[in-house]
């Protein structure tokens, strides 16, 4: 349950928080909020102060039906922010949220030390070899299709069995490529109906059979606000409720927009241990 980031061993037997830093104009919750270096650094500093162990920087919106952007656009969004973050916070552990190997490589060269890939290498055939070459931890998520097509692919005989088969195959390929530090993300909201999301959350502990850390990305997603008949902006309370469930079912990283409330979940969980 340890991963190596820039020579620092991070113990994930104690859960950690990954703060979300979207450098996009169209993300479902905070699109446009961090689109300048100043606003991005200010947000990252706040999340670090509140207890985030990782900052996940993304420049490609993966919300359902999000428009496709070029590699150059994605790099133009994320690379300057990563460079400034490293200057301001030399010890920051930055994850680059991308499914493109070329973006991942440039981001690591700029100072990122983890790759968070929504496609587990399926949208870029060179990703696994690139991650192995870079020698950084790799988070692989479950998704069918791509952000433009995924909601039409939410068809499974058994969602949990489908994920176990998927990760068995993708982890085998990642290890064969030479990737040592691996994390899996079940991909809540990606090619899944609301009912499938909750069935998956209810049995999230089944993923512990892989004996590697599980990341849960639940923050303010539609599986929360649609059930509560509200909006992403009013979904913090529901997010906190599901965060605690995910932790109790074995999640080791919570990927969150709101770090302080997520940290409170970790504190309270420690009293149940």
User: Which range of residues forms the domain containing residue 96?
Assistant: 2-264
Total domain count for the chain?
Answer: 1
Side-chain-side CA neighbours of 116 within 13 Å: the count stands at 27
Q: Note the pLDDT tens digit of each residue in 212-269.
A: 999 999 999 999 999 999 999 999 999 999 999 999 999 999 999 999 999 999 999 9
Residue 273 lies in a domain: no
Give the CATH number for residue 105: 3.20.20.20
| Domain membership flag for residue 179 | yes
Known catalytic residues are: 221, 255
| pLDDT for the residue 63 | 75
Alpha-carbon span 185 to 221, nearest angstrom: 15
> 58 and 24 in contact (C-beta within 8 Å)?
yes
Asked if the structure places residue 269 within a domain, the reply is no
Return the percentage of the chain with pLDDT > 70, whole number. Answer: 96
78 found inside a domain: yes
Percent of residues, the chain, with pLDDT higher than 90: 84
pLDDT of residue 40: 87
Q: Which two tokens stand for residue 262?
A: 């997520």
Q: Could you report the per-residue pLDDT of 164-180, keeping only the tens digit for each?
A: 999 999 999 999 999 99
- Asked if residue 263 lies in contact with residue 50, where contact means CB atoms within 8 angstroms, the answer is yes
Kindly report, residue by residue over 107-159, the tens digit of the pLDDT: 999 999 999 999 999 999 999 999 999 999 999 999 987 777 777 788 899 99
Confidence of residue 26 (pLDDT cuts 50, 70, 90): low
Smallest CA-to-CA distance from 107 within 121, 93, 125, 91 is with: 93
| Max intra-chain CA distance, the chain | 49
pLDDT number for residue 31? 53
* Residues 173, 190: Cα–Cα separation, whole Å: 21
Report pLDDT for 154. Answer: 81
Q: How far apart are CA 263 and CA 16, in angstroms?
A: 8
Judge whether 270 lies within some domain.
no
Bridge partner list, 97:
58, 116
Query: pTM of the entire structure?
Result: 0.94
Task: Output the pLDDT for position 206.
Answer: 97
pLDDT above 70 (res 29): no
Q: From 221, 214, 225, select the one nearest 254 (Cα to Cα).
A: 214
The answer to the question of residue 53 being in a domain is yes
Residue 189 counted as domain residue:
yes
Q: What is the DSSP letter of 68?
A: P
Q: Given this model, what pLDDT does residue 33 score?
A: 57
- Report pLDDT for 34: 64
Which comes out higher in pLDDT, residue 56 or 148? Answer: 56
Mean pLDDT, all residues of the chain: 93
Residue 30 lies in a domain: yes
């Amino acid at each position: 349950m340890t991963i190596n980031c820039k020579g620092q061993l991070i113990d994930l037997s104690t859960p950690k928080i990954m703060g979300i830093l979207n450098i996009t104009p169209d993300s479902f919750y905070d699109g446009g909020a961090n689109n300048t270096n100043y606003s991005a650094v200010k947000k990252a500093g706040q999340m670090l102060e509140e207890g985030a162990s990782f900052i996940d920087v993304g420049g490609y919106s993966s919300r359902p039906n999000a428009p496709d952007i070029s590699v150059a656009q994605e790099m133009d969004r994320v690379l300057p922010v990563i460079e400034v973050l490293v200057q301001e916070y030399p010890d920051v552990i930055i994850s680059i949220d991308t499914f493109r190997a070329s973006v991942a490589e440039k981001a690591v060269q700029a100072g990122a030390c983890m790759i968070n890939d929504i496609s587990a290498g399926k949208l870029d055939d060179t990703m696994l070899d690139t991650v192995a070459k870079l020698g950084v931890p790799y988070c692989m998520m479950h998704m069918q299709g791509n952000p433009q097509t995924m909601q039409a692919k939410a068809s499974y005989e058994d969602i949990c069995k489908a994920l176990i088969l998927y990760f068995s195959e993708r982890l085998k390929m990642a290890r064969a490529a030479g990737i040592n530090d691996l994390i899996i993300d079940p991909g809540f909201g990606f090619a899944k109906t609301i009912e499938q999301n909750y069935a998956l959350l209810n049995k999230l502990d089944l993923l512990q059979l892989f004996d590697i850390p599980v990341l849960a990305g639940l923050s303010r997603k539609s599986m929360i606000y649609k059930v509560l008949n509200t909006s992403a902006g009013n979904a913090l309370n529901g997010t906190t409720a599901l965060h605690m469930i995910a932790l109790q079912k074995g999640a080791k990283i919570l990927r969150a927009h709101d770090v302080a409330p997520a940290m409170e979940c970790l504190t309270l969980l420690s009293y149940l241990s």
